Amino acid sequence: ESESESESSLTLTTHDAERNSVVPSKARSLGSISPRVSFGSIEVRNYPLELGDHPDCSRGPPVTLSWQHLNSRTMELEDYEESIACHKGRRLRMTQYERTHMLQHVI
């Protein structure tokens, strides 16, 4: 049995900042490859909002995240997903009135 019959070749493409390169990798059989991704704990940081400078904000003041975070906590990914389940349907875009009101009450 030749090497080409006993091993399948798998080509992975890696992206480098300067160039793209193709890196060959060998596997016993394509059926045994099981791509899996797992996460342990994650760090969640809370950032304050502040007056921004986004040029695409044509109505009302733009807001942005501050560079400095207020606090952080480490938690398991599953716990985080459960904690934000009630927020998933919430709107993420603020109206010009919401941004103006928020900034007026900060000053």
* Domain ranges, ordered by start, for the chain: 3-30, 41-104
pLDDT at 84: 80
pLDDT at 90: 65
Q: What letter does residue 28 receive in the DSSP assignment? A: S
Which residues have CB under 8 Å from 84's CB, separation 6+? none
User: What would the two tokens of residue 62 be?
Assistant: 């733009």
Q: Is the pLDDT of residue 94 over 50?
A: yes
pLDDT at 73: 92
pLDDT tier for residue 22 given thresholds of 50, 70 and 90: very low
């400095």: which residue's tokens? Answer: 68
Residue 8, judged by CB atoms within 10 A of its CB (0-12, 13-18, 19+), counts as middle
Which pTM value belongs to this model? 0.50
Say how far apart CA 86 and CA 1 lie, in whole Å. 57
